[in-house]
Structure formats: structure tokens, C-alpha cells
């Protein structure tokens, strides 16, 4: 596949690279005297120089003959020279920041490229939203490689989104220079049941000779998984157990080990490596969703590599999993993923392999970050008005908007979505809750809260009612327009008054997250860009997230990253039970079910 994500194609600079390697021309930059982390052979080689010319690597070895009067020299002094880190699956929108602000946050941590799936903004603004993310990313040195959102909506027929993506749209977008593949194919039921729609979307990607990424979120490792992989899906980040990850790798699928702000799957999936004597070429480390506070406090892929080592994975293997393995998964290792001649000069210099402190970051031969800070200025991107005007809710929301009528008298048995902290799955529970004046009530004593999803894209007036368990909230409500993947307005709470206050706060500010208690707003995080992002720097965003997090704690919530867990309540491609603006969805049978248990 032709790779647009480099400063210059190899054929334009091959002569000068060879000339530098032979000492006929001088290098632009030489890194001297480092310990090379060779991900091709999984070894560390002492006293290595790297000579760079025209944004690419000309020589790896002794580069003393490559240094001329104008050559810049970086003395590694025994530090480690590593390929820059690649994130094989990331939704930038989940950082709640724009691409340029996200780049400022992750590049100093050694991330030189991301494979971005912008399906969050695409569900709100369609292909225009994808274009905005690409335009924003062009202002950064970060290699912003895009996978086209495949499932808008995630599972057709179960929710209402702001846009639609079908085979025609995918075929057109595959022609874009920035498009390297297909975003996670969440409609796995459509694939394994041979739906024309799903297979045509995958087919248009394969016709373009680009990579299809996946979303196999059920534990079936038998015929269903084979059917899914046989369609052309090459990678999947949804493994939550050793057995799932191992099965995928054995079938030639890249298992992407996820460790994000809320989804901590690495502990279990790492066992597929640490407990089995397998080749790890089909294993990758990815973040999927990372919030600002995680980036500020812990880092990005450098943090995930450290976590992998904590779980028993060898540090060199872990670095392979964020470099050459990722590049090979996307057929881009001819340019990316290793410190070898001809490759893009995307290099990180690390002080030691225990703390993994990233001291210098070089992208396309340019020094872009030193000691955790960007050392270049980035042009700010201004989003168009369309991107900041996305709250289109038909009804005026009042406390009456949350009433759920029933013909039962004192109590009723209802289906309840029980969340699993730090995991993406849910359980379907059947629980009796009180009825008052023919209205079904929340029951905080049983940790059962009311949930409502309002359609916010087309003024349809549709809304779905449900109940959730696991947030431990006694008194209050929270609302969010970050509600995967349709990103309608989701409100969860113990009482209708607070639910209305939280919901209206987001209508007024253009989207985001809000918390209410006692009829008053006690926390709000404005996300005016598509109701998903803000254009503020990572430090400011981390502070804003911290403030709204305190509000969650005030109303009793004590789980990790509750806003991310809450955001998955409407995602109708994850088991077991979900709530969309159209109603409750059984995600094991993919059918609508009633709120009241028959």
C-alpha cells in the first residue's frame, strides 16, 4: 500500500540516502553512541549511530563518515534508540480534545503515529466530521493515519445517528490520501450472517488494498470467529481474556491488547503471551480510549508499555508491539516501525528501560519534543460552525420527560443494565423496583437508577427508557452527549428533577458532561465540538475533567472513569443489554426487548 505518511517517498530520496551511507554526502542529523533497540531481531546493540537524510534513515552503525560541517549531532551517550511508538487503534474524540491538542499531549511520550478511527464524530457529523479531524491533524508532526468509520450507525436499525455511512461512502473515502483502512467493523452479526451491507463495506476496503480492523466483542472462538476473520478483518482490540487473544493470533488476526483510561484488559490478555510459548508477531498494544488526566498523569503508549512489562511481558517484546508489529498489521512496515535504513526517521531516545522516560522525540528527522514537552509550535485549527451546533432535540426537556408509566401497582420487575467497572461488557438483570402513582421509580437503595436516551441529531423526538446498576449513586443525576456510538443525549439519575437539570445544561452549552444534585447543577464539562470535544490544551482539559469527576464523587459514584463506562450504555454492539433512543436492545440476540419483564 502506498504510504502518504512521510515527508518524502523513498524513491525521491533513495540516491541521497545511499550517498550518505557511503560517505559521499553528509547527513542532516546523526544520533551518536546509543544502544539500539532492534525490533527486527529483538535485541539491543551497543554503540550504534543513526544517520538521517531527507527525513529518512540512511545508515545504522558507525556514522562517523556521515558527519559534515552542517550535520546536527545528538549525543545519545549510551541511551536507548528506539523506533517511535504507533497506536494501532485510537478514537481521538475520546480524549475530548482536538487532534492537534491530542498530538501535543502524546508526541512527547514517544507516540509518532496513530491509526485513528473517527467514528465518534462521524456518527454526529458524517464524512464532514472525518474531514475536520484530518484537516486538524495536518497541522501536527504526528502521523495521523485514518481508518474510515465502518459502522455509522454501529448496528443498523437499533439507533438513530447524525449520519449514515454505506459502501458507496466507504469506496469514495478510500481514495483519500490519508485513509489507510477501515475502522472497527462493529457489525459482526452482519459479517457472520453474510449481510450484503456489511460485506460490501469490507469489500470496498479490500478492493482498495487497505486494512480492515475489527470488533469481535463476544467470547465465541469457534466458527463465528473464523467467519469473521475470513471476511478480511485483520485486527481486533476487543479481547478481554487470554483465550480470546490467543485464538485470534492463532487464526492470523492481530490481537490488540487494550489498556485505556477505563478499559483495563491488559492484565488478562497478557497471559496469552506470558503463559504460552508463542511467537508474538501478531500481538499489539493499543489505547482505544484515553482521557486527558491519564495522558497527563501516566502518559500514552509509554505508559502502556510499562503496564505490559508489569504484567510480565518482556520490554523488547512490548516495544515491538507498539512499533514493527503495528506497522506490519497495516502493511506499512516498508516506511514505519523500525530503526533501519530507508525507513522514516521516527525515533525516540529513552534514558532507561525500567522507567522508560522519553527524552527526545524525532519525527521525519525533525526534533519535535524534548523532556516531555513539544519544542515546536503548532497552528491552531478552528472548527466550522456546523461542528459546534449539534444539539437538535425536539422536546423541551422537563422533569416530566423522564416519567415511565406502567399499569402495575406497587412494584414491577424490569430489565436492568448492570455495568462492569473497567470493562466494556454489561449484564442483564431482572429487578423489582417501586411504582408510585402508576410511574416506575428509580431505586437507589438497590443501586438502580433511571436512564433515558434522547435523539439529538434530527429533532425526531424519539427517546428510550431503561434502568442501570453499578454506579453507586444515592442522590443526583449525570448527563452526557458522549454516548457511543450515536452520541445521543444520555441521562442517568436517581430522580427526575436532577435529570432534567443535567440534561438542560448540555443543551445550553452545546454538549458535554454534566452532574446535578438537589435541583442544581454541580459540575459541567462543555464539549462544544460535536458534543464530543473541546479545543483546549491537555492540562486545561485534565483540570476540567478532574472537576466534573469530583461532582460524580459528590453524588456517590466511586468507580474508575465512570463517564467512560456510562458512555457505553447505548452501544448496541456489546453484550449483554444496551439502551438506545429506540429502546432496550438485547445484544446477544440483537432484538428489542421490553422494559418490563413479562
Is residue 6 very low, low, confident or very high in pLDDT (cuts 50, 70, 90)? Answer: low
CA gap 524, 550 in Å, rounded? 11
- pTM, rounded to two decimals: 0.93
- β-bridge partners, 52: 29, 57
pLDDT of residue 69 exceeding 70: yes
pLDDT of residue 425 exceeding 90: no
Highest-scoring range by mean pLDDT, 342-346, 419-423, 573-577? 342-346
CA gap 209, 154 in Å, rounded? 24
Give the mean pLDDT of 214-237.
96
Span 172-216, pLDDT tens digits: 999 999 999 999 999 999 999 999 999 999 999 999 999 999 999
Span 261-286, pLDDT tens digits: 878 899 999 999 999 999 999 999 99
Grid cell at residue 482: 458522549
3-state SS of 471-533 is CCCCCCEEEECCCCCCCCEEEEECCHHHHHHHHHHHHHHCCEEEEEECCEEEEEEECCECCCE
Span 467-477, pLDDT tens digits: 999 999 999 99
**HSE (side-chain half, CA atoms, 13 Å) at 270:** 23
Amino acid at each position: 500500500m502506498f504510504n502518504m505518511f512521510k515527508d518524502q517517498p523513498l524513491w525521491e530520496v533513495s540516491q541521497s540516502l545511499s550517498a550518505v551511507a557511503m560517505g559521499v554526502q553528509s547527513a542532516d542529523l546523526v544520533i551518536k553512541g546509543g544502544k539500539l533497540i532492534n525490533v527486527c531481531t529483538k535485541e539491543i546493540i551497543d554503540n550504534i549511530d543513526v544517520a538521517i537524510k531527507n527525513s529518512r534513515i540512511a545508515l545504522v552503525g558507525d556514522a562517523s563518515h556521515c558527519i559534515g560541517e552542517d550535520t546536527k549531532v545528538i549525543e545519545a551517550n549510551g541511551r536507548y534508540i528506539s523506533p517511535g511508538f504507533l497506536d494501532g487503534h485510537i478514537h481521538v474524540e475520546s480524549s475530548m480534545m482536538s487532534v492537534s491538542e491530542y498530538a501535543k499531549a502524546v508526541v512527547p511520550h514517544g507516540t509518532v503515529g496513530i491509526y485513528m478511527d473517527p467514528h465518534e464524530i462521524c456518527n454526529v457529523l458524517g464524512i464532514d466530521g472525518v474531514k475536520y479531524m484530518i484537516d486538524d491533524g495536518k497541522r501536527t508532526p504526528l502521523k495521523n493515519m485514518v481508518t474510515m468509520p465502518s459502522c455509522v450507525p454501529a448496528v443498523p436499525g437499533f439507533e438513530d445517528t447524525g449520519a449514515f455511512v454505506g459502501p458507496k461512502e466507504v469506496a469514495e473515502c478510500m481514495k483519500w490520501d490519508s485513509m489507510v483502512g477501515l475502522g472497527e467493523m462493529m457489525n459482526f452479526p452482519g459479517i457472520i450472517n453474510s449481510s450484503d451491507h456489511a460485506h460490501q463495506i469490507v469489500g470496498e476496503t479490500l478492493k482498495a488494498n487497505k486494512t480492515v480492523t475489527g470488533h469481535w466483542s463476544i467470547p465465541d472462538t469457534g466458527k463465528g470467529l473464523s467467519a469473521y476473520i475470513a471476511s478480511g478483518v485483520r485486527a481486533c482490540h476487543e479481547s478481554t481474556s487470554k483465550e480470546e487473544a490467543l485464538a485470534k493470533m492463532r487464526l492470523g488476526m492481530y490481537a490488540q491488547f487494550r489498556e485505556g483510561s477505563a478499559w483495563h484488559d491488559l492484565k488478562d490478555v497478557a497471559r496469552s503471551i506470558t503463559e504460552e510459548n508463542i511467537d508474538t508477531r501478531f500481538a499489539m498494544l493499543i489505547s482505544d480510549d484515553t482521557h486527558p488526566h491519564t495522558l497527563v498523569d501516566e502518559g500514552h503508549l509509554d505508559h502502556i508499555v510499562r503496564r505490559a512489562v508489569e504484567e510480565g511481558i518482556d520490554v523488547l517484546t512490548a516495544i515491538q508491539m507498539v512499533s514493527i508489529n503495528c506497522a506490519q498489521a497495516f502493511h506499512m512496515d516498508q516506511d514505519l516501525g523500525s530503526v533501519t535504513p530507508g525507513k522514516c526517521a521516527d525515533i525516540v531516545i529513552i534514558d532507561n528501560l525500567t522507567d522508560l522516560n522519553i527524552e527526545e522525540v524525532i519525527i521525519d528527522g525533525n526534533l519535535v519534543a524534548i523532556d516531555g514537552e513539544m519544542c515546536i509550535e503548532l497552528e491552531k485549527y478552528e472548527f466550522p460552525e456546523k461542528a459546534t451546533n449539534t444539539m437538535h432535540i425536539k422536546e423541551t426537556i422537563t422533569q416530566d420527560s423522564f416519567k415511565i408509566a406502567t399499569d402495575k401497582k406497587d412494584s414491577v420487575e424490569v430489565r436492568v443494565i448492570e455495568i462492569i467497572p473497567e470493562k466494556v461488557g454489561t449484564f442483564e438483570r431482572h429487578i423489582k423496583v417501586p411504582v408510585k402513582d402508576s410511574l416506575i421509580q428509580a431505586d437507589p437503595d438497590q443501586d438502580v437508577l433511571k436512564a433515558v436516551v434522547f435523539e439529538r441529531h434530527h429533532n425526531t423526538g424519539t427517546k428510550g427508557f431503561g434502568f442501570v446498576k453499578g454506579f453507586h449513586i444515592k442522590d443526583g443525576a449525570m448527563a452526557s452527549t458522549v454516548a457511543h456510538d450515536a452520541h445521543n443525549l444520555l441521562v442517568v439519575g436517581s430522580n427526575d428533577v436532577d435529570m432534567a437539570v443535567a440534561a438542560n445544561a448540555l443543551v445550553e452549552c452545546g454538549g458535554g458532561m454534566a452532574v446535578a444534585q438537589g435541583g442544581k447543577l454541580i459540575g459541567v464539562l462543555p464539549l462544544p465540538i460535536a458534543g464530543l470535544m473541546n479545543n483546549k490544551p491537555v492540562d486545561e482539559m485534565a483540570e476540567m475533567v478532574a472537576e466534573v469527576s469530583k461532582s460524580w464523587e459528590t453524588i456517590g459514584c466511586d468507580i474508575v472513569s465512570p463517564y467512560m463506562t456510562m458512555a457505553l450504555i447505548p452501544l448496541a454492539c456489546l453484550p449483554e443489554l444496551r439502551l438506545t433512543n429506540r429502546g432496550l436492545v438485547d445484544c446477544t440476540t440483537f432484538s428489542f426487548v421490553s422494559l418490563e419483564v413479562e
